[in-house]
Amino acid sequence: MSTLRGRVGPVGLPEWDRCAVMGVVNVTPDSFSDGGRWFDTALAVKRGLELAAAGADLVDVGGESTRPGATRIDEDEELRRVIPVVRELVGGGVVVSVDTMRAAVAEAAVEAGAALVNDVSGGLADPAMVPAVAAAGVPFVVMHWRGFSADMNSRAVYGPDVVGEVLGELRQRLDAVVGGGIDPGRLVVDPGLGFAKNAEHDLALVAGLGRLRRELELPMLVAASRKRFLGRVLAGPDADPPPARERDAATAAVSALAAREGAWAVRVHEVRASADAVRVVRAVEDFSAAGAAGAGE
């Protein structure tokens, strides 16, 4: 069961009275679920505004694909893709998060008005990231990460307690970033679904979201949207998974589960269904709370 405690967000962002919904804009030619669709500044801005209008509380802008096997782009190209989109969305009144593993991109995005830095490597990819975020004083997402996308699948090796291992590795990262000067009140944790994990590992983590939240006691972001494990769950008898864009209903199901476990936010490509799902969860929780209060009278 979720409690308000788990839903309180990081210092420096608005508070939403339910699980927040983070919409995704990938300004990339090759992200696995929506690659190429918003690879143009004007289209990406339009998409971000659409997501906000559809109910996204914040919009996550990224310029580098992290799909399995992806190779890295250079910093100038990432800046070119991301910064104009961040600036225009912020100008349009959107709360923007920047999805980057590079300190220079994070700094430029914060300068352009981004309110949160979402680093899938949790500060491991660029040694300058933690000091940069500490100096900027913005919230920071620490995701569970074992290495770059080019070879992350080979790192998807866990013992029987996947959740316990991810917890242990996340704790180490959290200690490191706090040691590096980031305010613990500004941290968000993320189990990193699909990153050095196979479908079984992802399912174990979704089943363990409540444990992750209780043991880490930090706002939690859950990013299941369109990921391979959902394709595996939905695969027909021929074992062919549906294409990424046909996984949005399954994504909304995970959004409901995550909200029920007290996640602070869910990160999704299609916002409407998840925005509805988190509102239903909130209404059910209000009903339960009213019932509990009534029973106590």
Per DSSP, the three-state class of 31 is coil
Instruction: Choose the stretch contacting ligand PMM; rule: CB under 6 A; options: 8-16, 28-36, 154-162, 254-262.
Output: 28-36
Instruction: Choose the stretch contacting ligand PMM; rule: CB under 6 A; options: 86-94, 154-162, 187-195, 254-262.
Output: 187-195
Alpha-carbon distance of 60 to 86, in angstroms, equals 9
Instruction: Choose the stretch contacting ligand PMM; rule: CB under 6 A; options: 46-54, 82-90, 106-114, 185-193.
Output: 185-193
- Closest to ligand PMM by CB, 141 or 252: 141
Alpha-carbon distance of 152 to 148, in angstroms, equals 6
Alpha-carbon distance of 209 to 123, in angstroms, equals 22
Least spacing, CB of residue 226 vs ligand PMM, in Å: 6
18 is catalytic: no
Active-site residue among 18, 227, 228, 260? 227
Q: Is 274 in the site for ligand PMM (CB under 6 A)?
A: no
At 56, give phi and psi (nearest 5°). Answer: -70, 130
Q: Is 141 in the site for ligand PMM (CB under 6 A)?
A: yes
| 112 touches 83 (CB < 8 A) | yes
267 is catalytic: yes
Number of residues that bind ligand PMM (CB under 6 A): 18
One of 10, 19, 20, 31 touching ligand PMM (CB under 6 A): 31
One of 122, 192, 231, 262 touching ligand PMM (CB under 6 A): 192
Alpha-carbon distance of 132 to 27, in angstroms, equals 23
Q: Is 121 in the site for ligand PMM (CB under 6 A)?
A: no
Nearest to 267 by CA among 103, 90, 31: 31
Nearest to 190 by CA among 210, 168, 211, 219: 219
How is residue 178 written in tokens? 């706090």
Residue 15: CB atoms within 10 Å: 10
Residues annotated as catalytic are 227, 267
Contact residues: ligand PMM, CB under 6 A: 24, 26, 31-33, 66-67, 99, 118, 120, 141, 143, 190, 192-193, 221, 223, 267
